[in-house]
């Protein structure tokens, strides 16, 4: 593993290379097929207004099987392109979910059109999004939450090695919901050597700054470089005190 050297107040700091793979604004993750016998590949795309027509067609092919768990899907098969566009705009305005109250955490949700059930697409989507969260973004924990009666969704995190994180109650908004939700999570291995909450926060700050350094170098120099150096310095201080305490013990 390469090691990076940073100058801070005349002192050289050494930090492990986080081994990032291109924090590009657009991701090409097309090496996934919905089924081993299929000649077609999945093509993950960022949801944008120009996808309204494609999403409308997918909803028309069958969204009734998820309507029991998502109230928005009850009439989705009747949506016009304009209505679908409004739905996309609402999702973009709402932004990414931050479950369990921490910016180091991100939540995954997925559904498959009825015409493509039982092809392993849900599992493939989950694997793809896991790669986005842990390789192309610096999140520590990725969560999958589902209603306790939704066995199809619940089987995926178990297959992919997610750990049971707990349960919580939620307002019932669709016919098949019980209101009891189960939560599963997986942790990025980039945080394995950072045992305390404070170290993990600093690690996230370091990786977030590196992401901006790669994606937007001008913005990094202007707004993030100082924070990056400060995070490295604070990590060094914390680890130095930890080592001293261990030696003293």
Q: Mind listing the pLDDT tens digit for each residue in 57-91?
A: 988 887 888 888 888 888 999 999 999 999 999 98
pLDDT in the model for residue 116 = 77
pLDDT in the model for residue 27 = 53
pLDDT in the model for residue 34 = 65
Residues whose CB is less than 8 angstroms from the CB of residue 100 and which lie 6 or more positions away in sequence, other chains included: 141, 143, 183
pLDDT in the model for residue 52 = 94
Tell me whether residue 141 is exposed, middle or buried, using C-beta atoms within 10 angstroms of its C-beta: 0 to 12, 13 to 18, 19 or more: buried
Neighbours of 39 (CB within 10 A): 6
pTM (2 d.p.): 0.78
Dist. CA 3–CA 14, nearest whole Å: 7
pLDDT in the model for residue 212 = 87
Q: Which residues pair with residue 224 across a beta bridge?
A: none
Q: Are strands 11-16 and 105-108 parallel, antiparallel or unpaired?
A: unpaired
Among 104, 81, 84, 106, smallest CA distance to 95 is for 106
Residues whose CB is less than 8 angstroms from the CB of residue 212 and which lie 6 or more positions away in sequence, other chains included: 219, 220, 223, 224
**How many residues are given for the chain?**
249
Residue ranges of the chain with pLDDT lower than 70? 1-37, 41-44, 95-99, 242-249
pLDDT in the model for residue 198 = 94
Q: 152-189 burial, b if ≥16 CB within 10 A, otherwise e? A: ebbebbeeeebeebeeeeeeeeeeebeeebbbbbbbbe
Six token digits for residue 29: 């993750």
Whether 199 contacts 238, CB under 8 Å? yes
Residues whose CB is less than 8 angstroms from the CB of residue 168 and which lie 6 or more positions away in sequence, other chains included: 181, 183
Q: Which residues pair with residue 12 across a beta bridge?
A: 7
Residue 127 DSSP symbol = H
């Amino acid at each position: 593993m390469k090691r990076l050297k940073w100058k801070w107040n005349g002192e050289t700091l050494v930090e492990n290379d986080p081994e990032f793979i291109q924090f590009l604004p657009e991701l090409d993750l097309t090496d996934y097929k919905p089924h081993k016998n299929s000649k077609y590949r999945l093509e993950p795309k960022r949801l944008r207004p120009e996808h309204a027509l494609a999403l409308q067609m997918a909803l028309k092919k069958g969204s009734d099987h998820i309507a029991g768990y998502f109230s928005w899907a009850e009439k989705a098969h009747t949506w016009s392109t304009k209505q679908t566009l409004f739905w996309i705009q609402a999702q973009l305005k709402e932004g990414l979910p931050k479950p369990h109250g921490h910016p180091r955490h991100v939540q995954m949700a997925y559904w498959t059109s009825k015409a493509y059930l039982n092809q392993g697409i849900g599992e493939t989507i989950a694997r793809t999004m896991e790669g986005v969260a842990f390789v192309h973004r610096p999140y520590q924990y990725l969560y999958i939450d589902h209603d306790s009666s939704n066995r199809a969704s619940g089987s995926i995190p178990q297959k992919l090695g997610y750990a049971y994180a707990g349960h919580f109650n939620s307002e019932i908004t669709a016919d098949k919901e019980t209101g009891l939700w189960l939560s599963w999570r997986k942790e990025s291995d980039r945080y394995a050597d950072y045992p305390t909450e404070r170290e993990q926060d600093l690690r996230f700050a370091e990786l977030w700054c590196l992401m901006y350094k790669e994606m937007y170098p001008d913005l990094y120099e202007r707004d993030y470089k100082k924070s990056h150096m400060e995070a490295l310095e604070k990590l060094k201080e914390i680890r130095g005190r930890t080592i001293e305490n261990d030696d003293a013990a």
